[in-house]
Structure 1
């Protein structure tokens, strides 16, 4: 088990604050390791299919994908691990502009968020929040995903 640091505790507190009842999030993390956190208040998410993310990063190897996302986006990314095709969720500010083809999830949607520093079998942080409130810039996400189609064509 990963030790809990003051950094991951601060990030967890910020994430829990996305819910009007943060204690509910903490209780879900304690009981299940994953909490359903409402979007639209502190952050939104862009759902990116695994195939597209792997094409954009040039790999489906977890470490390579994580390194590429950390370098490109410098912000938090989750992945649904329930299948090998599980999508990636790029966390962005509710005020951020997004006009890409990938679905933006926001108000009235809940996202399964693992507690920082505590890996789970259902979902995992690919890139944890570098600090509370520091989210991905949609300009960098748009640029990264623009690479997916040309790289997919080259790989054929």
Structure 2
């Protein structure tokens, strides 16, 4: 279980991805989410909701979250501005991604909610468990490899 102290350390680490971390803290206070630059501390893989839901076999949040936690073992954010809002899987900057989904990096801002807080724009599906702990892109690749076969089975 993540404590308030742990969340504070994680939030500090996330905020310091921005050259002006105080701006991230201010946005979190005002909006519950902040635009954080990618390419310094972490990158993100944008996965369409339909593809992620096909991979885990459900659209239900109480099923999706534990499935992603089991497969990815790292932080995932979801865009809540529409029912089809994509998922963003946070990965290390120097890890290779060879999947079809778009990798977001330098010169891109990602909406990131403050750990432990609720935002109307973005939501942690899986919060970071400690500063610097990110997803292994190979785990994401393996998960997404199940999406197409599961979708084909469901269409029979």
Identify the residue that residue 126 of structure 1 maps to in structure 2: 125
**SS in structure 1 at match of 2:19:** coil
Instruction: Note the residue ranges of structure 2 that are not aligned, 5 or more in a row.
Output: none
**SS in structure 1 at match of 2:78:** strand
**SS in structure 2 at match of 1:75:** coil
Identify the residue that residue 62 of structure 2 maps to in structure 1: 63
Tell me if structure 2 keeps the 8 A contact 1:46–1:102: yes
Identify the residue that residue 24 of structure 1 maps to in structure 2: 23
Shift of 1:31: 1.1
Q: Distance in 1 between matches of 2:151 and 2:120?
A: 29
Q: Please identify runs of 4+ aligned residues in structure 1 that moved more than 3 A.
A: none
Shift of 1:118: 0.4
Tell me if structure 2 keeps the 8 A contact 1:74–1:130: no
Identify the residue that residue 14 of structure 1 maps to in structure 2: 13
Identify the residue that residue 93 of structure 1 maps to in structure 2: 92
Identify the residue that residue 113 of structure 2 maps to in structure 1: 114
RMSD: 0.8
Shift of 1:67: 0.2
TM-score, structure 2 normalization:
0.97
What's the CA shift string for 1:40-89, capped at 9, x where partnerless?
Answer: 00000000000000000011000110000000101000000111100000
Q: Distance in 1 between matches of 2:62 and 2:91?
A: 22
Aligned length: 153
Q: Distance in 1 between matches of 2:81 and 2:21?
A: 26
Q: Distance in 1 between matches of 2:30 and 2:48?
A: 29
Q: Distance in 2 between matches of 1:144 and 1:60?
A: 15
Identify the residue that residue 48 of structure 1 maps to in structure 2: 47
Shift of 1:121: 1.2
